[in-house]
Amino acid sequence: MSQANINDNEVDIVIVAFHSDLTAFLNEWRPIFSPFHLIIIKDPDLKEELQIPEGFNFHVYTKSDIDKAVGPSNSNLFSGYSCRYFGYLISRKKYIISVDDDCIPAKDNMGCLVDVVAQHIANLKTPATPFFFNTLYDPFCKGADFVRGYPFSLRSGVSCALSCGLWLNVADYDAPTQVLKPGHRNSRYVDAVLTVPAGAMMPVSGINIAFDRELVGPALAPSLKLAGEGKFRWETIEDIWCGMCAKVVCDHLSLGVKSGLPYVWRNERGNAIDSLKKEWEGLKLMEKVVPLFQSIRLPQSAATAEDCVVEIAKIVKEQLGGEEDPMYDRAADAMVAWVNLWKSVGSG
Amino acid sequence: MSQANINDNEVDIVIVAFHSDLTAFLNEWRPIFSPFHLIIIKDPDLKEELQIPEGFNFHVYTKSDIDKAVGPSNSNLFSGYSCRYFGYLISRKKYIISVDDDCIPAKDNMGCLVDVVAQHIANLKTPATPFFFNTLYDPFCKGADFVRGYPFSLRSGVSCALSCGLWLNVADYDAPTQVLKPGHRNSRYVDAVLTVPAGAMMPVSGINIAFDRELVGPALAPSLKLAGEGKFRWETIEDIWCGMCAKVVCDHLSLGVKSGLPYVWRNERGNAIDSLKKEWEGLKLMEKVVPLFQSIRLPQSAATAEDCVVEIAKIVKEQLGGEEDPMYDRAADAMVAWVNLWKSVGSG
């Protein structure tokens, strides 16, 4: 899909500024991002003024904007990595694309710059096929089709709500994996997009994603915060939790989730060894959280993404709440608070 | 995985000869197949003597071998495309690889010959991960790993029982798709293997597959025959049925199914327009068959692949049997007959 086919009024690109100088980052992205509106969320802990090069159509939101919009009791929802969710909340566009500020455009196997916007939007605008796996990957990609045996009644597919892109160079590993393989780099460019089948759970990374805000915006909720959560991806699992929540919602509402293209090139940031201590908390937690999300069956009465998130919050509270660690109760409360914000401040 | 790591006593390559002259076919495959034992099944309808070039370690089985081994009442199980199942039955090796005789070795993106044996065996010898989707594909491929958020308790994976390879050039489309896009060729070489998640159904093509015979041999059963079944892939769905059966069995027994690499290069054979009339029967049928297989939950008491196939046959008979078309009853009977043969003639 070329950019010519994308209406730039449909797209907001959400960027979190963890560092004040966005010059190099945005100059790298200029050929791809410049036609689109950028929502830049300044890390609430960042004191220095942002440096943003000329030639972009953008709006910066700071801690005071967040406080003003959501009130001081809710503003802690938007700390650290989760400040990006404020961008999701105040956007009024159909599609959101979000890329971490330690990523630059990748090149494909032919050496061509990957247009993340075009690929994410193509993923979202073409149907997804979660109810039967197509062995030749996304049948709506150029040159592909449904293979023999694919039921014709399922070939129209369903709307795709979430597009999960991947990472070259520094892949999205946890701190222990990164520590064990310090020199490891991901160089495998897999030229494919696929629909993750209904019922299958997956770890959605927040590094490089896009979604249809009108369909599933409320399901991309800031929820689970680790006590020792830091400012490196491997110190958080907020996006993994949010992604499982979104996947459960998509499965329930018969919406699709795609994974694969587009890639971004991810640069190194942070020291995995320093992060190891914090990370273990997130690692142990997944052993409990994955079976929970795998077991969730939402009631028929949950007909919107908002309904679904509230139902999931209820289940989290019932199944994981009241434990020694109040983290799960806080996550459930955050999900409910988020849905309320979506209805009052957002476009819900 | 290099061939040095593969014990050639572990592998049988099963080939069906639909044409008498295998010279060109086997010469193309010589660098890859020559270290291994070939089981060549001569199409029972083929009259002429087979021509097989020198330098291969092979055994040919003909109609009279089939009749002798399984008795005349069972030999109709092994007609047309299904004669390859006789090779699965009489093999005593751990791994079976089967490639259609209209395929030759493919080249990867670097122009290197794809070693289907090495790749299939690597897929089968490394664990599969059906219970959580890894966004960076098979974590056991060289250069890959589990992404952040992947539960550590699931990282050891499960045994992989079935490896489904793909096709360059003429892809495995049904006749209507082929007729609609006569010039269409698959040129996208996707450098990935993935585990198809548990619970997700898929159309397994018999063109290029491998499996662990000891784990799931009985589940690869000759079962569903269309009344007008012919000698072109798009005129049959026996492999699609068999594949769904195998997937249900793998899911139940906590075994994995992988899809992706290796590719073969598939040459054109047959006229899709001529086949259209026959094919529609298979197409309609999938609308009924896919929901059935998606709904199957096997009892805990089914502890082996043999048990599972007998249970599935029972369900097929209950749910689809007794209809105007006796095809489903025949399929269920064939599955039971196959399991009995596996126990008496095979290594069951």
Give this complex's ipTM.
Answer: 0.95
Q: Does A135 touch chain B (CB under 8 A)?
A: yes
**Does residue B279 have a pLDDT over 60?**
no
**Does residue B160 have a pLDDT over 90?**
yes
CA distance A184 to chain B (A): 8
Residue A1: per-residue pLDDT: 47
* pTM of the entire predicted model: 0.96
Please give the structure tokens belonging to residue A348: 């819900």
Confidence of residue B258 (pLDDT cuts 50, 70, 90): very high
Confidence of residue B1 (pLDDT cuts 50, 70, 90): very low
**Does residue B274 have a pLDDT over 90?**
no
Question: Which chain B positions have a beta carbon within 8 Å of A290's beta carbon?
Answer: 132, 151, 154
- Three-state SS for B112-181 is CECCHHHHHHHHHHCCECCCCCCCCCCCCCCCCCCCCCCCHHHCCCECEEEEEEEEEECCCCCHHHHHHC
pLDDT (mean) for A150-174: 96
> Shortest CB distance from B135 goes to which of A131, A164, A282?
A164
pLDDT (mean) for A117-134: 98
> What does the alpha-carbon distance between residue B46 and residue A235 come to, in Å, rounded to a whole number?
65
Give tens-digit pLDDT for A218-236. Answer: 999 999 988 778 788 888 8
Confidence of residue A181 (pLDDT cuts 50, 70, 90): confident
Residue A284: per-residue pLDDT: 83
Residue A199: per-residue pLDDT: 97
Helix (H) or strand (E) holding A205: none
**Does residue B220 have a pLDDT over 50?**
yes
CA distance B98 to chain A (A): 18
CA distance A126 to chain B (A): 19
Q: Does B280 touch chain A (CB under 8 A)?
A: no
Q: Does B146 touch chain A (CB under 8 A)?
A: yes
Question: Which chain A positions have a beta carbon within 8 Å of B297's beta carbon?
Answer: none
Tokens 């004040």 label which residue? A20
CB A243 within 8 A of CB A203: yes
Give tens-digit pLDDT for B130-142. Answer: 999 999 999 999 8
> Shortest CB distance from A190 goes to which of B151, B154, B190?
B190
Torsion-angle region of residue B342: left (phi > 0), alpha (psi -120 to 50) or beta? alpha
Confidence of residue B232 (pLDDT cuts 50, 70, 90): confident
**Does residue B50 have a pLDDT over 90?**
yes
> Shortest CB distance from B186 goes to which of A143, A177, A240?
A143
List B residues 199-238 in contact with A (Cβ-Cβ < 8 A).
199-205, 233-234, 237
Question: Which chain B positions have a beta carbon within 8 Å of A172's beta carbon?
Answer: 147-148
**Does residue B177 have a pLDDT over 60?**
yes
**Does residue B4 have a pLDDT over 60?**
no
Q: Does B283 touch chain A (CB under 8 A)?
A: yes
Mean of the per-residue pLDDT values for chain B?
93
Cβ B174–A148 below 8 Å, yes or no? yes
Closest by Cα among A26, A32, A27 to A2: A32
Please give the structure tokens belonging to residue B274: 């001529």
Residue A3: per-residue pLDDT: 52
Q: Terminal CA-to-CA distance of chain B, rounded, Å?
A: 30
When mean pLDDT is compared across A175-179, A212-216, B110-114, B117-121, the lowest value belongs to: A175-179
Confidence of residue A346 (pLDDT cuts 50, 70, 90): confident
> Shortest CB distance from A143 goes to which of B145, B188, B192?
B188
CA distance A247 to chain B (A): 12
> What does the alpha-carbon distance between residue A293 and residue B133 come to, in Å, rounded to a whole number?
13
Residue B129: per-residue pLDDT: 98
Q: Does A251 touch chain B (CB under 8 A)?
A: no
Please give the structure tokens belonging to residue A24: 């190099």
**Does residue A130 have a pLDDT over 50?**
yes
> What does the alpha-carbon distance between residue A330 and residue A316 come to, in Å, rounded to a whole number?
10
Give tens-digit pLDDT for A50-101. Answer: 999 999 999 999 999 999 999 989 999 999 999 999 999 999 999 999 999 9
> Shortest CB distance from A240 goes to which of B149, B191, B282?
B149
Question: Which chain B positions have a beta carbon within 8 Å of A196's beta carbon?
Answer: 133, 197
Q: Does B182 touch chain A (CB under 8 A)?
A: no
User: Hey, which residues does A195 pair with through a beta bridge?
Assistant: A258
Q: Who has greater pLDDT, B229 or B63? A: B63
Q: Does B153 touch chain A (CB under 8 A)?
A: yes
Single-letter residue type at A182: P
Residue B280: per-residue pLDDT: 65
Contact residues for B104 (Cβ-Cβ < 8 A; gap 6+): B25, B28, B29, B264, B265, B267
Question: Which chain B positions have a beta carbon within 8 Å of A132's beta carbon?
Answer: 200-203, 290
User: Hey, which residues does A165 pair with through a beta bridge?
Assistant: A260
User: Strand, helix or coil at A166?
Assistant: strand
CB B192 within 8 A of CB B201: no
Please give the structure tokens belonging to residue B313: 């046959």
> Shortest CB distance from A259 goes to which of B135, B144, B202?
B135
Cβ A171–B145 below 8 Å, yes or no? yes
Cβ B143–A186 below 8 Å, yes or no? yes
pLDDT (mean) for A127-150: 96
Does the domain at B7-346 match CATH 3.90.550? Answer given as: yes
Closest by Cα among B210, B30, B186, B182 to B105: B30
Query: What Rg value do the Cα atoms of chain B yield, rounded?
Result: 19
> In chain B, which ranges are E strands?
11-17, 37-42, 57-61, 95-99, 103-105, 160-169, 193-195, 208-212, 256-266
Cβ B166–A259 below 8 Å, yes or no? no
Residue percentage of chain B with pLDDT more than 70: 97
Give tens-digit pLDDT for A244-301. Answer: 999 999 999 999 999 999 999 999 777 777 777 665 677 788 999 999 999 999 999 9
Question: Of B108, B135, B142, which to mutate for an interface test with A (greatest number of A Cβ within 10 Å)?
Answer: B135
Cβ B148–A287 below 8 Å, yes or no? no
Closest by Cα among A121, A81, A99, A114 to A38: A99
> Shortest CB distance from A148 goes to which of B148, B187, B233?
B233
Tokens 């599969």 label which residue? B128
> What does the alpha-carbon distance between residue A87 and residue B98 come to, in Å, rounded to a whole number?
52
Question: Which chain A positions have a beta carbon within 8 Å of B199's beta carbon?
Answer: 197, 199-200
Question: Of B148, B166, B202, B235, which to mutate for an interface test with A (greatest number of A Cβ within 10 Å)?
Answer: B148
Question: Which chain B positions have a beta carbon within 8 Å of A146's beta carbon?
Answer: 173, 177
Question: Of A108, A141, A147, A169, which to mutate for an interface test with B (greatest number of B Cβ within 10 Å)?
Answer: A147
User: Strand, helix or coil at B278?
Assistant: helix
Closest by Cα among A167, A269, A245, A169 to A209: A167
Query: CB pairs below 8 Å between A and B: how many?
Result: 175
Q: Does B186 touch chain A (CB under 8 A)?
A: yes
CB A230 within 8 A of CB A193: no
Give tens-digit pLDDT for B8-45. Answer: 899 999 999 999 999 999 999 999 999 999 999 999 99
Residue B283: per-residue pLDDT: 79
**Does residue A127 have a pLDDT over 60?**
yes
